[in-house]
Amino acid sequence: MEQLSERLHTNYIGYVVIEHELAALAAAVQQRIPDLVAQIEREVIEQVPEFHSRDDPVLLESERPSIDAALTSIVDGLASGRRVPEGASDAALREARAVAQSGIELQVLLRTYRLGQAITWNAILEEALALVPEEHRLTVLRQASDYHYAWNDAVMEGVVAAYQAEHKAYFFRSQDRKRRAIVNDLLRGVPTETEELGYNLRVAHLGLVAWGSSPEANIRAIAATLKSRVLTVSGTSGTVLGWLDASALRNAQEAEPEVFTTLPSTHVAVGEIASGIEGFRRSHRQAWQAYRVGRFRPRAVVRYPDVALEALVLKDRQMMRDFVARELRGLDEPEARTELLRETLKAYFASGQNAASTAAAIHVHERTVAYRLRSIEQRLEVSITSRRDEIAVALRLADLLAAIGAKERAENQPHALDLSDDAL
């Protein structure tokens, strides 16, 4: 009996030691999560290029939260008894649905998971070699490996089910699936029969993307006001794609402002007028790019010419951050004085770098503007004139990054609305 008690005590001590080592291992991996997320994103771009073959903002924006949630779940499980989650995270399910709607094959999504799992396991191995004593290392790694595989089985079941359900609903139950398939072929340059669309492709086109509460009704209301023929098809994540016969308009600006009004809680992105089949594609691409920017901003109507710059760089979020950080170094403090200087600088650029016009625009004395501009140059350590273009662009991109951050924080709240989006 005494020997049994001693063995139990020894086993308990061993259990406590292993749990302690696993907790330390989990803590070390947790510190690496931001770097691991970035590494997985880079490797997916390089090794699974099909995953980014569609210019789909929702898919791109769902990737990082899904990776982060997966890594956090694995680390939490390692540290607290290796309890396997009941299913995939909400972030993983959102990503699976976005992938399905984008028409990306399930196997492509699964390849991204396998890649992420390999990178995660390598990080676990590296930290175990650095932290866990050799006499405990094999036991710790066995525990971690068993949990990692069990976690994968539990999560992937939910991810696959979400993908398959969304794919079936979107591609086989949608009422306009035939028209959407034809439009999809047109946009990709694939020869297709277009008679079923009931829309003349030889005319001038104005591409639209609408999202929110009443996207299709909004596009049709605009068409009715313009007395234009219209083609609409459902896009992904609640968007509706539209084309108007714009033969009577020389440019979209002629329809301002009464035509491009929106219904409550609805937004419309507008391309430029272009003719023929290539114009059909180009105007849609422009509207889609405007939508990519507009979904982060509370504007009812977003025109491509107004956001072309932001749309151009939005695909590479890190490049945007790096550029803004470099150009606005010294004007990046989150405090009232810095914000005042940035707003003054925006007004200065908007006024054609005229101090008197700037003073009138922001309701201060001209000497105040001059003083603020000197303060800005001292902070930036360059003259405003010498870096005018770069600084002006950086200010615009900084505003977009702030809007993106605010939207992501809102969506990460427990009861936030899912305002995702995508193309065909």
> Contact 3/60 with Cβ under 8 angstroms?
no
Q: Indicate the pTM of the whole model.
A: 0.73
What are φ and ψ of residue 27, in 5° steps? -60, -40
Beta carbons of 88 and 155 less than 8 angstroms apart: yes
Span(s) in the chain for CATH 1.10.10: 317-411
What is the structure's pLDDT at 19? 87
Say what the pLDDT of residue 81 is: 76
Q: How far apart are CA 7 and CA 380, in angstroms?
A: 68
CA distances for 219 relative to 226, 259, 280, angstroms: 11, 10, 16
What are 172's two structure tokens? 């086989």
* Alpha-carbon radius of gyration of the chain: 27
* 288-327 pLDDT per residue, tens: 999 999 988 878 999 999 999 999 888 778 888 899 999 9
Give me the long-range contacts of 396-405 (CB less than 8 A, separation at least 24).
Answer: 396/309, 396/310, 397/310, 397/313, 397/320, 397/323, 397/324, 398/324, 398/328, 398/342, 400/293, 400/296, 400/297, 400/310, 400/314, 400/320, 401/317, 401/320, 401/321, 401/324, 403/296, 403/297, 404/296, 404/317
Amino acid 415: pLDDT: 35
* Alpha carbons 422 and 424: distance in angstroms, whole number: 7
Give ranges for CATH 1.10.490 in the chain: 2-172
pLDDT score, position 411: 63
Q: Is the CB of residue 384 less than 8 Å from the CB of residue 358?
A: no
Burial label, 172 (beta-carbon count in 10 A; 0-12, 13-18, 19+): exposed
- 299, amino acid identity: R
Cα–Cα distances in angstroms (integers) from residue 103 to residues 22, 56, 171, 210, 223, in the given order:
40, 11, 9, 20, 29
CATH architecture of 178-304: 2-Layer Sandwich (3.30)
3-state secondary structure of 272: coil
DSSP string, 143-189: HHHHHHHHHHHHHHHHHHHHHHHHHHHHHHS-TTHHHHHHHHHHHHT
Look at the alpha carbons of 342, 343, 348, 352 in this order and tell me if their dihedral is positive or negative. positive
As a whole number of angstroms, the distance between CA 278 and CA 292 comes to: 21
Distance CA 319, CA 395 (A): 14
| pLDDT single digits (tens) 20-37 | 888 999 999 999 999 999
Q: Count the Cβ atoms, other than its own, within 10 Å of residue 111.
A: 16
Instruction: Give CATH 3.30.70 domain extents, the chain.
Output: 178-304
Q: Which of 111, 33, 38 has its CA nearest to residue 317?
A: 38
Chain centroid to CA 150: how far?
A: 29
**Pair of tokens at residue 22:** 């696993």
Let me know if domain 2-172 sits in CATH 2.60.40.
no
Block means of pLDDT (10 residues each) for the chain, length 424 residues?
A: 45 65 92 93 92 78 91 91 87 93 92 96 94 89 92 94 91 77 88 88 95 95 91 89 87 62 91 95 95 88 93 83 91 87 92 92 92 92 91 92 81 43 45
In CATH, the architecture of 317-411 is Orthogonal Bundle (1.10)
The reported pLDDT for the residue numbered 12 is 42
Contacts of 409 (CB under 8 A, 6+ apart): none
Q: Note every long-range contact of 347-352, with CB atoms under 8 Å and residues 24 or more positions apart, other chains counting.
A: 348/373, 348/384, 349/388, 349/391, 349/392, 349/395
CA nearest 43: which of 115, 120, 122?
115
